[in-house]
Amino acid sequence: MSDLQKYIDKLNSLDFSKMYEGDFFLTWEKSDDELAATFAVADALRNLRERNISTKIFDSGLGISLFRDNSTRTRFSFASACNLLGLEVQDLDEGKSQVAHGETVRETANMISFMADVIGIRDDMYIGKGNAYMHEVVDAVTQGNKDGVLEQKPTLVNLQCDIDHPTQCMADMLHIIHEFGGVENLKGKKVAMTWAYSPSYGKPLSVPQGVIGLMTRFGMDVVLAHPEGYEVMPEVEEVAKKNAAANGGSYRRSNCMADAFKDADIVYPKSWAPFAAMEKRTDLYGKGDTDGIKALEKELLAQNAQHKDWCCTEELMKTTKDGKALYLHCLPADINGVSCVDGEVEASVFDRYRDPLYKEASFKPYIIAAMIFLAKCKNPQAVLKALEEKGTQRWFQA
């Protein structure tokens, strides 16, 4: 049995019918079956590409990207995913400013979507805004499609919002599944999602939030560790607790990095800004209070500097399960003595995990492509089979 058939069989066992013509906002809005389908399709698309079989399901069409924050990795992952499926990327460049909501969003969303099959948005800077904005866009194009303005409803892919970073966390998760030899091997594994020191300020909360909201669904024991004052959004912690209760794992918070690392199977040490501070910053931006923003930045950098001891050291790594926990990072990491003096991780630890870290990142284009594929194919199994049978070479060899 070919690997592709294995993924198709997997899909046949799952119910993901609501993903067709849907969107991808937050992982916890998706059922277990829907997440499993996303992983299966990501693996299936990679399988086809590795065998030099084209996975284009679009002969023409646009993938619109809208980045409210600088991005190289996610930008290229989205472009790669679109290209893999046959869509041409068009960037909507609105700058980093907080754009107007309401009527303007409704209009712009329609105006860019006449040939758009996908819209990918990254909007993670302002608490309470990014996810809301994505919903506004989806509501606008859904209405536009109903009204006969748009021949198709573009699918939204959340490329990072103020709440979740689903393409990152799903890629992290697929990496874990591969590293541990299958989702069935994850029960009881300990995951340490911990804060780490960084000399820069204002890093988004979407990764730690996305991780605790997703990884608590696989029966793992998830610990979120951070210094006091670096709390994440309480509603996401509620999600993590409910997930853990429902899936036979656990979720707890700690203020001690060593506690989190102790016997961990997986560690994810990464800096982020306190939720409350990000809320405050959003207000200051809203008021255009430049002095306030500068003062807050200074305050936050000083606060960070009190926790330089929160670093993923060799010593800490030794305390993990057999001293060999899987080290995760969304990249780029702040590496001691490489990209900064003191940072999130010691250079020797990072070096040892470079190869798995790059592999972790390599799942992202496939995860994004899978999210699009499931929203665009009524019968994904049949489409995968048809692509294999057609067997168009991606890279022509004579």
CA distance 270 to 225: 10
| Residue 217: how many other CB atoms lie within 10 Å | 23
Q: Which is nearer to a copy of itself, 150 or 236 (CB)?
A: 150
Is 76 a residue that touches a copy of itself (CB under 8 A)? yes
Of 17, 104, 255, 306, the one binding a copy of itself (CB under 8 A) is 104
Binding pattern to a copy of itself, positions 136-155, x when CB under 8 A? --------x--xxxxxx---
CA distance 378 to 373: 9
CA distance 181 to 185: 7
Is 107 a residue that touches a copy of itself (CB under 8 A)? yes
Q: Which is nearer to a copy of itself, 78 or 195 (CB)?
A: 78
CA distance 103 to 361: 37
Residue 169 CB, shortest distance to a copy of itself, in Å, is 17
Q: Which tokens is 144 given?
A: 């536009």
Residue reference for tokens 């390599």: 362
Of 59, 228, 291, 322, the one binding a copy of itself (CB under 8 A) is 59
Q: Which tokens is 185 given?
A: 């091997």
Instruction: State whether residue 221 is helix, strand or coil.
Output: strand
Q: Which is nearer to a copy of itself, 102 or 181 (CB)?
A: 102
DSSP 61: -
Instruction: State whether residue 92 is helix, strand or coil.
Output: coil
Query: Sign of the C-alpha dihedral, residues 68, 73, 75, 81?
Result: negative
Binding pattern to a copy of itself, positions 14-53, x when CB under 8 A? --------------------------------x--xx---
Instruction: State whether residue 398 is helix, strand or coil.
Output: coil
Is 176 a residue that touches a copy of itself (CB under 8 A)? no
Choices 188-196, 205-213, 270-278, 388-396 (CB under 8 A): range interacting with a copy of itself: 388-396
Which residues would be at the binding site for a copy of itself (CB under 8 A)? 46, 49-50, 54-62, 72-73, 76-77, 79-80, 83-84, 86, 88-90, 92, 102-104, 107-108, 110-112, 114-115, 117, 144, 147-152, 331-332, 335, 338-339, 355, 358-359, 361-362, 364-365, 376-379, 382-383, 385-386, 392-398
